Structure 1
Amino acid sequence: MSVLSEEDFCREMEILGRLHHRHLVTLRGFCSSRQERFMIYEFMENGSLKDQLYSSGRTPLPWKTRIQIAIDVANALEYLHYYCDNTLCHGDLRSSNVLFDKNFLAKVAYFGLEHSTRCASRHVPHNGNALGTSGYLDPEYMVTKMMTDKSDVYSYGVLLLELVVGKQASLNHRNLVQWSQELADSFRLSELVDPAIADAVDLEQLHVVVGIAKLCTQREVKERPSIKQILRMLRERLDPSYTGFAKAVQGEGCHDDGRLFTEKQQENEVIALSGDARCLQSSSSTSRSYCSRSILLECNSPQSPHGI
Structure 2
Amino acid sequence: MRIIFMGTPEFAVASLDALLNAGEEVVAVITAPDKPAGRGQKLQQSAVKVYAAARGIPILQPEKLRDPQFLNDLKSFEADLQVVVAFRMLPEVVWSMPPLGTVNLHASLLPHYRGAAPINHAVINGETESGVSTFLLQHEIDTGNILFSQKVTIGPDDTAGDLHDQLMTVGAGLLVKTVKALAAGKITPIPQERLAGDAVLKHAPKIFKEDGKIDWHRPVDEVHNLIRGLSPYPTAYTELDGHPLKIFRSVKERTSVSHPIGTYYTDGMTFLKFACPDGYIDVRDVQLAGKKRMDIRAFLRGYRPRSVTIFT
TM range (shorter): under 0.3
TM-score in terms of structure 2 length = 0.24
Q: Could you say which structure has the higher helix fraction?
A: 1
Q: Could you say which structure has the higher strand fraction?
A: 2
TM-score in terms of structure 1 length = 0.24
- Tell which structure's C-alpha radius of gyration is larger: 2
Higher relative contact order (CA 8 A, sep 6+): 1
